[in-house]
Amino acid sequence: MAEKLVTSEGLFTMVEKLLGRAQVTAPREENGIAVFGPVNSAGQVELDGPLPVIPEKSVVFPQSETLLRMDLGGEVPKVEAVEPEGEQVILGVRPCGLQAFARLDRVFLEGAFVDPQYRRRRDHTLIIALTCPTVKRSCFCRAFGYGPSDGSGADLQLTRLPGGSFHLETLTERGGEFVAEMEKEGIAGLTDAGAEAGSAARAEKARVERLAERSAAAVSTEGVVEGLDGMYDDPYWAQLAERCISCGICTYLCPTCHCFDICEKARGPEAERYRCWDTCLFSNYTLMAGGANPRPTVRERLRNRLYHKLNFFNHRYGEFLCVGCGRCVEHCPTNIDIRKVMAKAAARSRAQGVSVNG
């Protein structure tokens, strides 16, 4: 696929052009924190910062979104499904974000029930990935078989080159169309990448892959699913839960968590049904109308989260629901670390002797 070179000014102009025709979401800094959020000027985009705390998922699965609009004034209620509108671009998606989109696709698009909201947003979102400029200690992508330069799943991929310019690769037809469009508009600073830029990009990718290599030594998925198969009633969960405050950080920041609640709001004859993020760590999540709760304590709730990430999803879809982005590791207020859970499970599976090599 085509390789281009774009100066940071050129990229700036491209973003400005995009702003007129699509909702642009990009890494942005807010009060010292990097977040993925809507931007309204190219100057807000911050591509050199750390992995944004608020994950990419909000572009395809917003914190809250309307499902139905109702007019209850007449004798017969008028109810219509609301379709998300417009075009979106998400810029600066890291490889873990791309992997997360692939997991969300399986949940929302696979099987007999296709989620119309997600489908519409996904189809109308152009994904411009970014080779990670830095690798944090909390990153453990390599454990899941990909690394910080892996652009699979993106339409385009940017790699920051040492001089400050970006190497831009088109990875899909849609990405190609976008570049062609930009070329037609005559973006100054957007040129074909020569051999030099190409090899600089490969060198940069190799550099960040080496950085990520360090975590590969520390975390592995080997035996995790099998170990957990035999650990459901282990006292370990109660021990972990003792210090978990049952907040929403690890799940709301997780790029693959997809749980939602469906609520109604009515004002006079007008009403709306919407969905909003929810998490299995909250006690209300499974609380039934009669007051019974199958997961009454933090132990059951935390265990559910960890199993969903590292075992249940595997049994359902054949892959992990964790992509190793490290957000939960870094932001858990009580330092509950999913990598340690993986290590514990792996050790258990070795002890059980059920681990299959390779």
Partner 1 sequence: MSEAIKTAAPVEGEPMPAELKTAEIPTRRGPAPGDPEFLGALRDCCRSLLAEGHVQRIIAYRETPDSLRPEVAFFASPEETGDLVWDLFCNTNICKYLLDYRTFEGRIGVVVKGCDARGVVQLINDMQIPRDKVEIIGICCPGQIDPAKVESAAGEAWVSRVVAGPDSVEIVTEEGTEMRVPLESVLTDRCLSCRKPNPPVADVVFGEDQKGRISDEVFEQIAELERMSSAERDAFWNRHFERCIRCFACRNVCPACSCTKCVFDQQEPDWLAGERNQANQHFFQITRAVHVSGRCTGCEECDRVCPVGIPLRLMNKKLWKDVKDLFDSPLPGTKLGVRSPLVMWDPKDADSFE
Partner 2 sequence: MGRSEAAARPEAAVSDAGPAAGLYLPSPATIQEVRLETGAADVRTFKVTLDGQEIGKDFIYRPGQCAMVSVFGVGEVMLSLSSSPTWTTHLEFSVKNAGKVTSTMHGLAPGARLGVRGPLGNWFPYESLQGKDLLFVGGGIGLAPLRSLINYVIDNRDRYGKVEIIYGARSPQDLCFKSEIFETWPKAPDTEVFVTVDRGDADWKGKEGFVPAYLEELAPSPVGKVAVICGPPIMIKFVLQGLEKLGYSDEQVITTLEMRMKCGVGKCGRCNIGHKYVCVDGPVFNLAQLRALKGEFV
Judged by beta carbon, residue 51 or residue 90, the one nearer ligand SF4 is 51
Q: Is 354 a residue that touches partner 2 (CB under 8 A)?
A: no
User: Interior CA angle at 171 toward 18 and 117, to 5°?
Assistant: 60
Residues 300-319 that bind partner 2 (CB under 8 A): 300, 304, 307-308, 311-319
**Residue 347 identity (one-letter amino acid):** A
In the complex, least distance from residue 355 CB atom to ligand SF4, rounded to whole angstroms: 21
What kind and span of H or E run contains 204?
helix 195-218
DSSP letter at 26 equals: E
Q: How far apart (Å, rounded) are the C-alpha atoms in residues 13 and 80?
A: 39
Judged by beta carbon, residue 122 or residue 303, the one nearer ligand SF4 is 303
Residues 126-165 that bind partner 1 (CB under 8 A): 134-137
Structure-block tokens of residue 94: 């890291």
Out of 21, 202, 243, 315, the only residue in the binding site for partner 1 (CB under 8 A) is 243
Q: Which of 342, 357, 338, 355 is nearest to 224 (CA)?
A: 342
Residues 97-116 that bind ligand SF4 (CB under 6 A): none
Is residue 124 within 8 Å of residue 86, measured between CB atoms? yes
Strand 156-160 to 125-130 pairing: parallel
Pick the stretch among 2-10, 24-32, 166-174, 229-237 that binds partner 1 (CB under 8 A): 24-32
Pick the stretch among 28-36, 85-93, 172-180, 300-308 that binds partner 1 (CB under 8 A): 28-36
Pick the stretch among 106-114, 161-169, 174-182, 238-246 that binds partner 2 (CB under 8 A): 106-114
- Of the CA atoms within 13 Å of residue 228, those in its CB half-sphere come to 24
- Residue 113, C-beta contacts closer than 8 angstroms, at least 6 positions apart: none
| Chosen from partner 2, partner 1, ligand SF4, none, partner binding at 255 (C-beta under 5 to 8 Å by type) | ligand SF4
Q: How far apart (Å, rounded) are the C-alpha atoms in residues 56 and 37?
A: 9
Residues 49-68 that bind partner 1 (CB under 8 A): 50, 53-54, 63-64
Would you give the distance in Å from CA 150 to the centre of its chain?
14
Residues 262-281 that bind partner 2 (CB under 8 A): 262-264, 266, 271, 273, 275, 278, 280
Q: Which of 13, 7, 2 is nearest to 187 (CA)?
A: 13
Q: Is 236 a residue that touches partner 2 (CB under 8 A)?
A: no
Residues 314-343 that bind ligand SF4 (CB under 6 A): 322-329, 332-334, 336, 338
Q: How far apart (Å, rounded) are the C-alpha atoms in residues 271 and 268?
A: 8
Out of 258, 330, 338, 341, the only residue in the binding site for partner 1 (CB under 8 A) is 330
What kind and span of H or E run contains 211?
helix 195-218
Summary count for the chain: helices (H), strands (E): 12, 12
- Note the helical H segments in 34-83: none
Q: Is 315 a residue that touches partner 1 (CB under 8 A)?
A: no
| Chosen from partner 1, ligand SF4, partner 2, none, partner binding at 337 (C-beta under 5 to 8 Å by type) | partner 1
Q: Which of 350, 348, 339, 336 is nearest to 233 (CA)?
A: 348
Residues that bind partner 1 in the complex, under the rule CB under 8 A: 30-33, 35, 37, 50, 53-54, 63-64, 134-137, 211, 214, 242-243, 245-249, 252-253, 261, 263, 265, 274, 276-278, 282-284, 287, 330-331, 333-335, 337
Binding site for partner 2 (CB under 8 A): 67-68, 70, 72, 76-77, 79-81, 107-108, 110-116, 145, 220-226, 232, 258-264, 266, 271, 273, 275, 278, 280, 285-290, 292, 294-295, 300, 304, 307-308, 311-320, 358
